[in-house]
Amino acid sequence: LLASLLNGACLCLYDFGSRGVTGLGRWIAEERITSLNLPAAVARQWNGCGAPAVAVPDLRDIRFSGAAANGRDVERLLATLPGTWRAWASYASSEAGSVTRAVPAPADALPPGTLHVGTPVAHRVVDLLDDAGAPVPPGEPGEVVVRGRFMATGYWRRPELTAACFRDEPDGTTSYRTGDLGRLDA
């Protein structure tokens, strides 16, 4: 929300409680939405509800968030939201803020598997570690650990959880064990 407002965008919020998921496409067209932040879980619910197709000529990109999105999610959305929009994914958390960002790609050119979340943003280092805290080789799953200077340093009044997830590093950065799994590809 803050990034939109700080960059001069008009921020439009959709009320699922009163409008339901089936009205989302019509709302995107009516509001002339150009950039949509869409949780992957909402995309899947919307894809499965039989909502009518709505042309969205103003829509330029959809950023998937909240969970891993895949090419099939995008393919199904193209049937509901015909247009030339691009799709992309990113990875973020409340504790670390923005962690990675991918370059938007044409929605009809994405592979069917999980969307790539991109590369680390400035001032973030991402490591993938095994249970013992050692780096995993490329292609193997490991816990996502984020390091940087501009992140949370712990949880308020939760010293045990803070000790389990956060660590001050010798270089002055903080590392945060996310509990999420990731895999480094080419």
Measured distance CA(129)–CA(167) in Å, rounded? 15
Q: What is the pLDDT of residues 21-54, one digit of tens each?
A: 999 999 999 999 999 999 999 999 999 898 899 9
Nearby residues of 75 by Cβ (< 8 Å), 6 or more positions away: 107, 108, 110, 112
Distance of CA 72 to the CA centre of its chain: 16
**Residue 163: pLDDT band with limits 50, 70, 90:** very high
Query: Residues 12, 38: contact at Cβ < 8 Å?
Result: no
Q: How far apart are CA 106 and CA 34, in angstroms?
A: 15
The pLDDT tens digits for 48-105 are 898 899 999 999 999 998 888 998 899 999 999 999 999 999 899 999 999 999 988 8
Rounded Cα–Cα distance for residues 84 and 7 (Å) = 23
Structural contact between residues 74 and 46, judged by C-beta atoms closer than 8 angstroms: no
Side-chain-facing half-sphere of 57: CA atoms under 13 Å: 0
Question: Is residue 53 packed enough to be buried (19+ CB in 10 Å), middle (13-18) or exposed (0-12)?
Answer: exposed
pTM across the whole model: 0.83
